[in-house]
């Protein structure tokens, strides 16, 4: 049986959690007690904390978002060149209300992700992560139309 912390498993949980409250809670519980130092797993743990904030009561939302920010900082410090971790942080921060002041890495991460995606397959992203990053950047309007066209021309 594969480890629940394999990237493909974590991606699957993340995608389901982003769309479903029950899956979000399951994702959070999977990672809540993770205390090792695998940077990618910590990135997904931070994403799970942020998703939990989405579904939490108003009283607890800020606590989970702050936990996610601290966990993202730890993950990025361990692997600053990991585009998948930067993608997770970018996808969370781009959905936070600006008034929280917790979206301070948006420009940095967007530039990093665009550069990484344009360097694919020499970017460190595997094919699945590349498709996810490219789709997110283009479909959510995070890149210019010229950059979207350049990304669209890249083979998978």
pLDDT above 90 (res 50): yes
Q: How many domains does the chain have?
A: 1
Q: Look-up: residue for tokens 């899956």?
A: 23
Burial class (CB in 10 A: 0-12, 13-18, 19+), 25: middle
Query: What is the pLDDT confidence band of residue 57, given thresholds at 50, 70 and 90?
Result: confident
pLDDT, position 93? 95
Structural domain boundaries enclosing 40: 7-152
- Cβ 89 vs Cβ 46: under 8 Å: yes
Say if 94 falls within a structural domain.
Answer: yes
Say if 42 falls within a structural domain.
Answer: yes
pLDDT, position 141? 96
Say if 125 falls within a structural domain.
Answer: yes
Say if 1 falls within a structural domain.
Answer: no
pLDDT digits (tens, 9 = 90+) for 61-114: 999 999 999 999 999 999 999 999 999 999 999 998 887 888 999 999 999 999
Q: Look-up: residue for tokens 């904030």?
A: 53
- Cβ 134 vs Cβ 143: under 8 Å: no
pTM over 0.85: yes
Say if 51 falls within a structural domain.
Answer: yes
Dist CA 38 CA 58 (whole Å): 31
pLDDT, position 32? 94
Say if 2 falls within a structural domain.
Answer: no
- Of 75, 68, 88, 80, give the one whose Cα is nearest residue 132: 88
Output the domain CATH number for residue 99: 1.25.40
């Amino acid at each position: 049986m594969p480890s629940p912390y394999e990237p493909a498993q974590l991606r699957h949980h993340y995608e389901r959690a982003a769309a479903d409250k029950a899956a979000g809670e399951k994702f959070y519980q999977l990672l809540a007690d993770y205390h090792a130092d695998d940077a990618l797993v910590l990135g997904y743990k931070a994403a799970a904390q942020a998703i939990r904030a989405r579904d939490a009561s108003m009283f607890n939302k800020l606590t989970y978002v702050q936990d996610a920010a601290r966990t993202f900082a730890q993950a990025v410090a361990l692997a600053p060149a990991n585009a998948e971790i930067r993608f997770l942080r970018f996808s969370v921060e781009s959905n936070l209300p600006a008034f929280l002041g917790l979206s301070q890495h948006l420009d940095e991460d967007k530039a990093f992700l665009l550069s990484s995606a344009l360097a694919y397959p020499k970017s460190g992203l595997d094919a699945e992560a590349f498709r996810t990053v490219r789709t997110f950047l283009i479909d959510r309007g995070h890149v210019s139309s010229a950059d979207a066209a350049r990304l669209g021309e890249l083979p998978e």
